[in-house]
Structure 1
């Protein structure tokens, strides 16, 4: 017989790393220009067809670029950080800090450990560093884009 125990979870912090609103007009404009070029290059096609295909494709691409979600969830006495489908119990985090914008290029460049877990979105300037202390995991730290690092760190540090 399987265990069908229900777990209650509380979301302490949630953020979707969406693309900026001002990316939409150029993205859709580029799709429209390409559709116009296709119309001029292939006169046998109905005029509306390239627009009907390329504008939704541009919209889907922009939505997918901004689909990553950062969450801090508590439930069953444990707190976890979720980034997309990856998750990490807070109990294995030894230190956490905001990465200043001035240090972002160094953190992603010459100081970056190749074994680190990195979720970087160029359109989200702030980042958070989560240093791990888990002997079973070779990942030394997580480096995450986050618009509100103070809120994320506060959600991690507050008691269960």
Structure 2
């Protein structure tokens, strides 16, 4: 059972905006064939909505590892996770961003968590990860880093 798990689904407005592909396809293809325009628009919408859904990254803290998208790091190699909301999150994603950081950010998820990487061999100084629950994610990372009773790692 993971300590924390979240899939960074697109917000509903992304799917609504993608629906504009249908009338756009009809306008482009109507002079040739109205049914072809409708079919193309529907297929484009299904392809875009499907790819947005299928490529939504998972962020997870489980089994002593922090996973963000395709990457994973042992929790003992992470520093203290710092949640950022609102203007602080905007700064983290913008002017405060280190170009070497590993990013799993989505434009439709505004808040982020900054997770320092304490591995000298890793070129990324920290991971910046989008989340809808920054305090819960940071608490899961920070809580899982602490040794458990009996000296077992988290």
TM bucket, shorter chain: 0.7 to 0.9
* Correspondence for 1:58 among 43, 48, 67: 48
Report the Cα distance in structure 2 between the residues aligned to 1:32 and 1:43, rounded to whole angstroms.
14
Q: Is the 8 A contact 2:22 2:42 kept in 1?
A: no
TM-score normalised by the chain length of structure 1:
0.79
Does the 8 Å contact 1:99/1:129 carry over to 2? yes
- Indicate the SS of the match to 2:100: coil
CA contact (8 A) 1:16 1:68 kept: yes
Q: Distance in 2 between matches of 1:123 and 1:57?
A: 19
* Unmatched segments (≥5 aa) in structure 2: 149-153
Shift of 1:124: 0.8
> In structure 2, what is the Cα distance between the partners aligned to 1:62 and 1:145?
16
Q: How many residues align?
A: 145
What is the CA RMSD across the aligned residues, in angstroms?
2.1
The yes-or-no answer on 1:80 pairing with 2:70 is no
Structure with max Cα Rg: 1
Normalising by the residue count of structure 2, what TM-score does the alignment of the two structures yield?
0.82
Q: Could you list the runs of 4 or more consecutive aligned residues of structure 1 that deviate by over 6 angstroms after TM superposition?
A: none
Q: Which runs of 5+ in 1 are unaligned?
A: 1-9
CA deviations on 1:48-73 (whole Å, 9 max, x unpaired) are 532442232232243245x1110111
Partner of 1:41: 31
Question: Tell me, what secondary structure is at the counterpart of 2:109?
Answer: coil
Give SS of 1:115's match: coil
**Structure 2 partner of 1:11:** 2
Q: How do 1:1-160 and structure 2 match up within 5 A? A: 10-28=1-19, 30-43=20-33, 46=36, 48-64=38-54, 67-74=56-63, 79-156=64-141, 157-158=143-144, 159=148, 160=154
